Amino acid sequence: MERLYASWRHAYVTRETHADGCVFCRAQALPEAQALIVHQGGTAFVILNLFPYNSGHVMVVPRRHLASMAALTHDELVEMAELTQAAERVLTEVYRPQGINLGMNLGRPAGAGVADHIHTHLVPRWTGDTNFMTVVGEVRVLPEEIAQTAERLRPAFARVLAGG
């Protein structure tokens, strides 16, 4: 029997939620966490998911620590929508997915892993990308490292958001 070790998942499955505060607030403040940010906007930013479902899995996050869409200002809501639209364009250009999952989970019962800071997920998808490893082995097999994903996405976000 072959074994595939996904040692990066250990940090996820053994983490204490909220032990060090909000992951999205920390990402804006800590240099090592900023490496995951692929675009910085005025009121929102786009960040790679540290534990992605697929390569290119990004999240659009307001800078302010908010738990609901209703708490967003008009400007925050508009920028989140614009960055979500830009992320769709970027993922389509860079990864050429056959589909994209787009979603937001409000509250822990709805599936939110970070319930107190809203965020929108965009996950590139391809026909047949869910294989037995995810279903049976509870392991994700990703074709590239997160740092490589960031290198691929940053210039595309700059270009798309500049109108090119």
**Which sequence positions are flagged as catalytic?**
119
Cβ-in-10-Å burial (0-12, 13-18, 19+) of 20 comes to: exposed
Q: Report how far apart, in Å, the C-alpha atoms of 2 and of each of 5, 67, 78, 133 are.
A: 10, 43, 48, 12
Helix (H) or strand (E) run with residue 11 in it: helix 8-13
The DSSP symbol for 21 reads S
The DSSP symbol for 28 reads H
